[in-house]
Amino acid sequence: MFLLFDIGGTKMRIARSRDGEAFDEPIVLKTPLDDFEAGVKMFAAAARELTGGQEIAAAAGGVAGPLNREKTGLVRAPNIPGWVGKPLKSEFERALGTSVLLENDAALAGLGEANAGAGKGFEIVAYVTISTGVGGARIVDGRIDRSRFGFEIGHQIVRMDEADVGSASAGEAGHIESYISGTAFAERYGMKAAEVREREAWERASRELAVALNNVAVFWSPEIIVLGGSMITGDPAIPLGQVEQYFTNVLKIFSEKPVLRKAALGDSGGLHGALVLAASSKQ
């Protein structure tokens, strides 16, 4: 039996896989953003409920933010600040009594889409998720590509004038995440993204996303870019048709552009990726 989890900036999803090929309906809980200890207690209780005391062969899952090089904890996590610098791996292993593999949540969602979703059948997949923040990963031959610190495409700079690279206090200004994420919409329009109905707002976001996808394409050279997250799959959402039109206009360097496709696995993408990771650890 494998235990799978996906800890995001809004919700925690925890599921059980009996056979390493599929998983049961997950338990969904609200993530305690500022209280790591409470999060561990909730996680452990849900795991006990799912497993009924049976032995867990391995556990794997994603957390929202960049991990340290050893993949034992978060080094930065704007959406779950209380989890930064905490011993995630050791505390989860203590709670579960088994080995735990940690990954960035967006990377695991990309792994899931590459193996069981919209990117299945493609050798080089770029996954981009746009929700509370912006994240993504490069998947090659069904595995998360090697990196030193992970992938943080939401922090690519698209407006150098706003980034003010000469300032020590530039912060997040100029980063794509500060334009097209749900958090950015809330700051720009004073309401949740789902409440923004002005067509111009979403068209503007489609242009900004096309610029970001140009950068993804020229740096990662993927066959397909899979787009997920609530800002893509929700209602309203960034219109994929307009994104593709702008993307075609801006990406000129290659003779062919990558396929753009909406993610197919929804909220369960990270759990599918966790299943791939857990199963591979026992091969």
Statement to judge: residues 174 and 253 lie in one domain: yes
Predicted local distance difference test score (pLDDT) of residue 167:
46
Domain-embedded: residue 113:
no
Residues 197 and 175 in one domain: yes
Identify whether the C-beta of residue 178 lies closer than 8 Å to the C-beta of residue 208.
no
- Does residue 149 sit in the same domain as residue 83? no
Answer yes or no: do 272 and 250 share one domain.
no
pLDDT in tens, 1-43: 999 999 988 899 999 999 999 999 999 999 999 999 999 999 9
Range 75-87 average pLDDT:
91
Does residue 54 contact residue 262 with C-beta atoms inside 8 Å?
Answer: no
Specify whether 93 is located in the same domain as 122.
no
Report yes or no: 56 and 1 within 8 Å, Cβ to Cβ. Answer: yes
The enclosing domain of 252 has a CATH number of 3.30.420.40
The answer to whether residue 228 is domain-embedded is yes
Co-location of 150 and 227 in the same domain: yes
| Co-location of 37 and 85 in the same domain | yes
Q: Which two tokens stand for residue 251?
A: 């990406």
The reply to whether 163 and 252 lie within a common domain is yes
* 169 occurs within a structural domain: yes
pLDDT of residue 164: 61
What Rg value do the Cα atoms of the chain yield, rounded?
19
Q: Is residue 93 part of a domain?
A: yes
Q: What is the pLDDT of residues 238-254, one digit of tens each?
A: 999 999 999 999 999 99
- In this prediction the pTM is 0.92
Q: Are residues 220 and 239 in the same domain?
A: yes
Report yes or no on 111 lying in a domain.
Answer: no
Shared domain check, 161 and 244:
yes
Q: What percent of the chain has pLDDT over 90?
A: 86
Strands (E), 2-160: 2-7, 11-17, 27-30, 58-63, 100-104, 124-130, 134-140, 143-144
Same domain flag for 226 and 143: yes
134-140 vs 143-144, strand pairing mode? antiparallel
Q: Is residue 186 domain-resident?
A: yes
Looking at the domain assignment, is residue 110 inside a domain? no
Domain containing residue 72:
2-105+268-280
Q: Are 254 and 272 found together in one domain?
A: no
- Provide the number of structural domains found in the chain: 2
Residue 274 lies in a domain: yes
pLDDT at 170 over 50: no
